[in-house]
Amino acid sequence: MKIRGLYIRIVTFRTPMSPAETLKELADVLTQKDPEKLSYWDFSDEKKNVFEGRIKDNTFHIIRYISYRSSWNPEIKGRVSACNMGSEITLHVGTHPFVQVFSYFFLLITGFMCCAILLASNTSDASFGLVIPFILFILMLALSLGSFNAEANNSIRSLSEIWHVKE
Per-residue pLDDT tens digits for 115-141 = 888 888 766 666 777 788 899 999 999
Please check whether residue 128 lies inside any domain of the structure: no
Burial of residue 94 (number of CB atoms within 10 Å: 0-12, 13-18, 19+): buried
pTM over 0.85? The answer is no
pLDDT of res. 118: 82
The low-confidence residues of the chain, meaning pLDDT below 70, are 1-3, 34-48, 122-126, 167
DSSP code of residue 164: T
CA 117 – CA 133 distance, rounded (Å): 9
Q: How many domains does the chain have?
A: 1
Please check whether residue 14 lies inside any domain of the structure: yes
Please check whether residue 133 lies inside any domain of the structure: no
pLDDT of res. 125: 66
Please check whether residue 79 lies inside any domain of the structure: yes
Please check whether residue 73 lies inside any domain of the structure: yes
Q: Sign of the CA dihedral 161, 163, 166, 167?
A: negative
pLDDT of res. 85: 86
Please check whether residue 105 lies inside any domain of the structure: no
DSSP E strand boundaries for 21-154: 30-32, 51-56, 59-64, 75-83, 86-94
pLDDT of res. 54: 92
Domain range enclosing 60: 2-99+138-163
Please check whether residue 61 lies inside any domain of the structure: yes
Q: Please report, for the domain that includes residue 58, its CATH number.
A: 3.30.530
Please check whether residue 131 lies inside any domain of the structure: no
